Amino acid sequence: RDSGISPKRLFLAGFSQGGAVVYHTAYLRWNEALGGVIALSTYAPTFENVNQLSPVQAQTPALCMHGSNDPVVPFAMGQAAQQQLASWGVPVTWQDYPMQHEVCQQQIADISHWLSKQLQ
């Protein structure tokens, strides 16, 4: 920001526990514009006691991705985070893949496509 990069071009991304940190930071702690959030195979343990987001937080788009066979972070926990974001009015995109607690090539391509759209 200090070097002239707009916060709307900054994205927070995290996998597993890192995704939980990203959710918390972007939607509960940071109250300025962001380009978006990329949350991979994660959950949102700190969303439970929050009723609403600030208007700026609610405008931060999210890309939520999860493996349908994830034995580490259950699929339902990933879906619950996505559904909570949607209930707050966050522009959220959900994608799931037939994989476990990992990242696949299709997912990387989908991230690239989503980022390209957000940066237009």
Mean pLDDT of the chain: 96
Enumerate the active-site residues.
16, 70, 101
pLDDT value for 2:
82
Contact present, 42 and 14 (Cβ < 8 Å)? yes
* Number of C-beta neighbours around residue 24 at 10 A: 16
pLDDT at 59: 96
Question: What's the confidence (pLDDT) of residue 91?
Answer: 98
pLDDT in tens, 37-71: 999 999 999 999 899 999 999 999 999 999 999 99
pTM: 0.94
